[in-house]
Chains A and B, each alone.
Chain A
């Protein structure tokens, strides 16, 4: 049975269990339900939980264990010289998996022909619509057959285990349904456990991000030294053919410079506009103007970044190229730092303005009144009392916006360009960390080559940079809020 069928079976039996539990509790209590320790629905839910939970846990555990066992089987059946070459290993393993998939399509007659060598496995598989890149080597055939054997066995084992768990849980819980059973507490404890599990998904996500990126990044650093990566000034990864040992140069600095330079221009646009909008909204705008303008500005944050990217590519880029860069003789490309920075800045305006607006309005009214009562004008009050008081919060808002800019992808992919260079000319094409992550992971992926793995090293670096900015910003904002609460 496939996993979907198993899930359907679990759902069906659980529902059946619910009805059974409900029915038994009603029958046991006779007419007067007062003898029951909980309402009948809880007895139903009790049986349902006992039926579904063990089976689901087994299904999930075996589904996770399955690929691990499969890989172990393949490794155990590969010759030593293949195992000794770690860079090739995952390539070999996926090769074996392909062969195994091919073997499943072949008829017994064809299998026999392959075994005695009348036809090549490659030609048979191709006939079934499974073209292979190269001829099948004998050890691959052995490993693939073993893999198929093990995975068939695993399938059966999963089926049996799940069905057994279902039956056991259903019967066990049904037997235990008695009027004295405090079904509600048991059900509620299970629900609480589920709630806790759901709340830990967020933590698991973070752990998942860190572990998965780190694991692949460490593989990369085993091929390219971190010093060469982080202090290298040349980015030239040379997309070599899969499996080739030639590796290019992976200098991080030009990408970092491009990222920072573009973010700088974005902040140059977003911070003044966002801040002054926030000030205007908080201090001067009538409630009518505010109720129209504020949502309009926030629309800017709801527009997908791909739309900004397209806007930069087709409208802003050509404009800047034709009317600024070319006349000034500074560049001839529509992809440049200014375009990406300007458009990214537009996108970030609402991040700066709405958070700053919140922060400015959080400054106690008494400070404002105190200043106005001394005869200060509104702008003097804003500049000399409210802004200094709001400064930490505003800095937090700006840092959060900065982190957005650094991690933004689609605008720079479409508008910044792909040339990794560290230049001061803002009309030059430059590239960013995120652009290179996208570039390196486009096309056929080979998880053993540094050309691919470098994306994960870039990813974890990006994660650490933005994490640092976010934590700093969130701490500042939180402290600030507490100060006025």
Chain B
């Protein structure tokens, strides 16, 4: 062993003899402090990013979870024939035509009974009517039209409370705020309390959120039409982009010669994947609607536009999946005398299929959340009726969210968040399927 530590430094560059071994100052404490700082920055960045995610989810869930329940008022309704069908005609057509106020009278009568309002107290009755959704009348009317045998019977009927009553019951409108700044007045609170003690007012699961179409009243607005529109669009996207994407990728990956033209396609596809989606909307507007005269707001057009936006993603993932199949498989196929086409379709494609499906599902998930291009082709219309075919006007889940997001009413904010939760649930489901598929079929070569 050398006595290195005892040697005297001669020159800075003289090798080990030249300096004291143990006492060189490498500035270690300073450097380790810098190391710790750097590491802390990294950890902070990861933490901040994850916190953003949690705050985002937290804010939306806390705003929206209440919308899955809704305040209902259950009352006994006397389906009085003399009011409903004064001329004795009980056909659905007769019920749907004529004076709508006669159904208001039915509701008023039920309210008077339930809340024990003096029949002469008109103000009291109007206050009570304020509590019920303005959609109650048409609801009752179509209920009778659908089932005329109700006429003459007595039945309990669930009515929607207004969005404001709903907010009050859920506590988002608070009673301790001065009355002038409150949408629910003291007189209404008295009535609500009375309904509660009667057992007529209760919270129930909000099925209307999933089944209703557009409405100006938050309590009767739902994402039903939007769900159907989105479903149609996803079908169009799936039917078009999966075969197109797979066929295009097969050509580019398996058959295309390596030349300038395929280079151009390659660059072009990568670039298309990064083109702002709103540009696709403009393309759809100019080509599908303005030139080809396809119907505006139709889910078919939405599907076509989304197909174009998703196609690059699907092609990129499919090509990656094809590339991952080792060349030995192709050689084996060709070796037994199969044609190139047979080799690709019999051996390579089946092996790449899990990757292709995963990519397609992720592409669909992206398409499902896409909003801007749909605004361009008019899928933000006020649509109450379910679209029967993809050619009919419809909305989509994200555009419905957009429309509701710009409504000022409190109850709409709650619904918007709920619609977002629905959308995110779909996305989560799709991504989980993709992950499960990948796990189940993952193959290491």
Contact = CB atoms under 8 A, between A and B. Distances in A.
Nearest to A466: B276
B303 interface: no
Contacts of A196: 251
B283 A67 contact: no
9 contacts: A195-B255, A201-B244, A202-B272, A284-B42, A293-B46, A307-B423, A379-B35, A414-B406, A466-B276
Contacts of B55: 315
Given A195-B247, A349-B49, A304 B60 contact: no
A302 B427 contact: yes
A438 B60 contact: no
Given A280-B39, A442-B375, A310 B60 contact: yes
A203 B371 contact: no
B414 to A, nearest CB: 11
A76 interface: no
A304 B53 contact: no
* Most chain A beta-carbon contacts within 10 A, residue among B43, B264, B274, B312: B274
Interface stretch (B26-34, B84-92, B113-121, B351-359): B26-34
Interface string A149-170: 0000000000000000000000
B250 to A, nearest CB: 6
A283 interface: yes
Contact of B285 (A194, A202, A408, A441): A441
Contact of B311 (A205, A279, A409): A205
A363 B375 CA distance: 43
Interface string B413-438: 10011001001100100010000000
A42 B178 CA distance: 82
Interface of A: 67, 184, 188, 191-192, 194-203, 205-206, 208-209, 212-213, 215-216, 272-277, 279-281, 283-285, 293, 296-297, 299-300, 302-311, 313-315, 346, 349-350, 353, 375, 377-380, 382-383, 400, 403-404, 406-410, 413-414, 434, 437-438, 441-442, 445, 447, 455-456, 459, 462-463, 466-467, 470-471, 474
A280 B45 contact: yes
Given A198-B243, A349-B49, A463-B276, 12 more contacts: A195-B251, A195-B255, A297-B50, A300-B53, A302-B366, A309-B405, A311-B60, A346-B52, A409-B276, A413-B372, A462-B279, A474-B267
Contacts of A462: 276, 278-279
A310 B420 contact: yes
A313 B412 CA distance: 13
Interface of A is mostly: helix
Interface string B47-75: 01110110110011001000000000000
A377 B365 contact: no
A348 B365 CA distance: 18
Interface of B: 26, 31-32, 34-35, 37-39, 41-46, 48-50, 52-53, 55-56, 59-60, 63, 243-245, 247-252, 255-256, 264-265, 267-272, 274-280, 282-283, 285-287, 290-293, 308, 311-312, 315, 339, 341, 365-366, 368-372, 375-376, 380, 398, 401-402, 405-406, 413, 416-417, 420, 423-424, 427, 431
Contacts of B252: 199
B395 to A, nearest CB: 13
A188 B417 CA distance: 52
Given A302-B365, A306-B369, A466-B275, A280 B255 contact: no
Given A272-B45, A306-B398, A404 B274 contact: yes
A307 B50 contact: no
Contacts of B417: 310
Contact of B423 (A304, A311, A349): A304
A349 B52 contact: yes
Contacts of B250: 195
Contacts of B41: 276
Given A188-B341, A297-B53, A277 B285 contact: no
A214 to B, nearest CB: 10
Contacts of A346: 49, 52, 56
Contact of B270 (A279, A309, A474): A474
A350 B305 CA distance: 26
Given A199-B256, A304-B427, A212 B282 contact: yes
Contacts of A275: 45
Nearest to A404: B274
B274 A305 contact: no
A201 B276 contact: no
Contacts of A279: 38, 42
A216 to B, nearest CB: 6
B437 to A, nearest CB: 16
Contact of A409 (B32, B286, B371): B371
A456 B282 contact: yes
A56 B413 CA distance: 49
Contacts of A375: 26
Contacts of A281: 46
B398 to A, nearest CB: 5
Nearest to B401: A306
A27 to B, nearest CB: 25
Given A196-B251, A202-B269, A438-B372, A303 B56 contact: yes
B35 A378 contact: yes
A435 to B, nearest CB: 10
A437 B282 contact: yes
A209 B283 CA distance: 5
Contacts of A293: 46, 50
A410 to B, nearest CB: 5
Contact of A277 (B42, B372, B376, B398): B42
Nearest to B26: A375
Given A203-B268, A456-B286, A297 B279 contact: no
A246 B292 CA distance: 29
A306 B371 contact: yes
Contacts of B243: 198
